[in-house]
Structure 1
Amino acid sequence: MRQLNRSLDPASMARDPYRVMVVDDSAVIRGFLTRWLNMEDDIQVVASANNGVAALRECEKFQPEIIILDIEMPEMDGMTALPKLIAMDPDLQVIMASTLTRRNADVSLRALSIGAADYIAKPESTRVNDEKDAFQHGLTEKVRVLGAARRGRKETVDKPVLRPTSVQPSNLQGLAKLTGAKAPIVLRATGPVLAPQIIAIGSSTGGPQALFQLFEQLKGKTNLPIVITQHMPATFTALLAEHLNKIYDKEVVEAKDGEKIVDGRAYVAPGDWHMTIQREGIDTVIRLNQEPPENFCRPSVDPMLRSLLSVYNNRVLTVILTGMGHDGLSGCQKLAEANAIVIGQDEETSVVWGMPGAVANAGVCNSVVPLLRISATIEGYLLGRPA
């Protein structure tokens, strides 16, 4: 597949609105999405298409940075078009859009595994209501975050990066300015800690892809219980647990209220419910609630981490994977104060370095490592040999 001509000036691109293409077989949906996105000063819909064949043609012509791609379309559907679009432009950010059915959720998860950056569930109605407003807000934020991530990677690809260090010489900030590198991440020294009794994982944009890889590599490395909060709608979280259950060598389930935490099992927070953990007699159980969203999310990572601190104190090993926003930062700060272990995914391997970047830049991480090194890093801490 012929790749696109990248002749656009990077400096001018940084000032220009994010270039979006909308692909959907419904003219009504295309119209709504185009109007909603064009209402934003920093977003411009440069093209639209009604199927995958037209999308390939329009992509080559208009060179969008982000594509909103429907799943079910005539002539060429979204899943068929996706790898062809990415072959044309490997930096392309694709958001899969579909009605929230079990089948479409399953297709969206498979799309993430072959290159899509994110997904969004279409509202059942385009009339003015809370669902439509939430969809519009969520879509524009995803476009902004993915557009910024794309441009950020392109701008820094040739710049040196000062690697994470546990020592911060006084001239590091000046060196970063002098060389054009990013400022270094200062790691928190790992003091004497008791062996972790539970692993907690928080993730958002890019999280499913990261979780698939992490759980593949975690096989045989631990029998600890694992609790996972991934920002997802309800239908998606059930399927995410099923997908992970096929990958991992131990059981992965969507969490249920009152369920006991046991070794050798992983629990995914269900969509639209905060997952917390509490002690009840001699048992440790999961409690679900629909208290207000935190960090605009439900489920949210922070309530999970706070509850783990109250039950396990510092015997928690937390991993913050790729995701937009800063959910998990507050909980990680409290865990770090108790001398619990915090691992962050590095920027280079994150789809969006929002959540892991927040904890890394706050100085609460013991390690900041590429995705493919996280399982080995976890194993090192569990064996008392920090990486």
Structure 2
Amino acid sequence: MISHRLSSQTTAPAGDTVKVMVVDDSAIIRGFICRYLSEDSSIEVVTTANNGEVAVRMLKDNPQIEVVLLDIEMPVMDGLTALPKMIELRPDLQVIMASTLTKRNAEVSLRAMQHGAVDYVPKPETARSVNASIDFRREIVEKVKAWANRSRKKKGVPEVKDSSTKPAATNFARPTARPTGFAAPSRPAVKPAVVSSRQTTEVKSTSSASAIQLRKAARTKPQILAIGSSTGGPQALMKFFKGFKKKPSVPIVITQHMPATFTAILATHIGEATGWPSAEAKEGDTLMPGHVYVAPGDWHMQFVRGDGKVKVTLNQGPQENFCRPAVDPMYRSLIEIYGDRILGVILTGMGHDGLKGSRDIVKNGGTVFAQDEASSVVWGMPGAVSTAGLCSKVTPIDELGEQAEKQLDGGY
């Protein structure tokens, strides 16, 4: 059967569920994915397809579809070929690429995100591992709802409410490997930091009843730019760097929650977009001004000083905030070296990774900026630091790079 419609939830009131299409050439994989999504009462799989050509046709027949999970390697028409046809039909469609962890598929997935796809999901390599991977299940549920809600918010349509399903951390490890991955999806309650009134400015949050208290930025000129991001991070990073008029005169270090195969490709794409030297960090790398270092998937990236130089050190210590790599250990090690001369930037992402590290940066006299809620796919990580009163700027992503450049130049 080329495709089928799933009607178990067709009686649900319109708008109460996210409408999804699953596209994969494996009937077994389609079955698993449909089952996982349907277990969440806020998601409805309305149809499936086994190749891109059928998917395009089904999209025409099902205008209610909001999100598509799209495989890359399929017969007749592959995912990359189908993608622009889908976007042409439905510019508002949220397409999430699903691919196994190969270098080619990582490259295709990130290229697809430059041509209309919103995200990717690293898919286990076999049907058996898909069935065994609770983390894959959690990730597709989290991302489907996150992107659907972001699209609905832009249209002024009510967002789907959280169901009784409570997905925990998503990780990128292969079933036989040590786990690593995304932060826990829920944002913990965080008490705002106590800051004197002369140090703060109020910024209204679109979903929070209380105002965000902004700190004055440090007067010390930063010597390093340290960025943390997760869900929606690849696109946010590109927009962030686009705001720079020139190459920064300090090293740029990035922890993006991604699997190992993807982080090297991401670093290459950043280099191509900016023209700056950019690479996945390696053990012993010496930090150089204007160079970008991306933490490799499944490894925490930290730093040590020796012989007057700052070098990268990598480890596979325990996950922090359900992640490896994680932002907090990166920030901790930077504080020991740079003290108050750090500019930390927290971009879109689930959970609260970076909160502890940002608190320590501020405590030691450094500065933290965050992406605002309206431009974030998920306002978990940036929301945690913003509502804790740790930020000097909470800014739309299109403006955040320019603001960071001013801070690096000593403009605040």
- TM more than 0.5: yes
Q: Deviations over 1:90-122 (max 9, x none)?
A: 333221001211111101001111221211121
Query: So what's the TM-score if we normalise by structure 1?
Result: 0.85
Q: Which residue is equivalent to 2:85?
A: 84
Tell me the distance in 1 between the aligned counterparts of 2:55 and 2:69.
Answer: 10
1:286 equivalent to 2:312? Answer yes
Q: Which residue is equivalent to 2:46?
A: 46
Give the CA RMSD over aligned residues.
Answer: 2.7
Q: Which residue is equivalent to 2:384?
A: 358
Q: Unaligned regions of 5+ residues in structure 2, if any?
A: 1-11, 159-198
CA deviation after TM superposition for structure 1 residue 362, in Å? 2.1
Q: Which residue is equivalent to 1:271?
A: 297
Does the 8 A contact of 1:219 with 1:248 survive in 2?
A: no
Q: Deviations over 1:284-314 (max 9, x none)?
A: 2111111122222211111111211122112
Of stretches 66-75 and 223-232 in structure 1, the one that deviates more from structure 2 is 66-75
Does the 8 A contact of 1:212 with 1:244 survive in 2?
A: yes
Q: Which residue is equivalent to 1:201?
A: 227
- The structure-2 alpha-carbon separation of the partners of 1:91 and 1:347, relative to structure 1 and needing over 3 Å to count, comes to farther
- The structure-2 alpha-carbon separation of the partners of 1:280 and 1:155, relative to structure 1 and needing over 3 Å to count, comes to same
Q: Which residue is equivalent to 1:114?
A: 115
Q: Which residue is equivalent to 2:393?
A: 367
1:218 equivalent to 2:247? Answer no
Higher relative contact order (CA 8 A, sep 6+): 2
Q: Unaligned regions of 5+ residues in structure 1, if any?
A: 1-10, 158-164
State the one-letter code of the partner of 1:223: S
Does the 8 A contact of 1:255 with 1:270 survive in 2?
A: yes
Say which SS state the counterpart of residue 128 (structure 2) adopts: coil
Tell me the distance in 2 between the aligned counterparts of 1:303 and 1:239.
Answer: 23
Q: Which residue is equivalent to 2:58?
A: 58
Tell me the distance in 2 between the aligned counterparts of 1:199 and 1:27.
Answer: 46
State the one-letter code of the partner of 2:80: M
Of stretches 250-259 and 139-148 in structure 1, the one that deviates more from structure 2 is 139-148
Q: Which residue is equivalent to 2:6?
A: none
1:238 to 261, 264, 275: 264
Q: Deviations over 1:316-352 (max 9, x none)?
A: 1111122222221221122122231111112232233
Does the 8 A contact of 1:145 with 1:324 survive in 2?
A: no
Does the 8 A contact of 1:97 with 1:122 survive in 2?
A: yes
Tell me the distance in 1 between the aligned counterparts of 2:247 and 2:405.
Answer: 6
Does the 8 A contact of 1:185 with 1:360 survive in 2?
A: no
Say which SS state the counterpart of residue 108 (structure 1) adopts: helix
Does the 8 A contact of 2:279 with 2:294 survive in 1?
A: yes
Say which SS state the counterpart of residue 111 (structure 2) adopts: helix
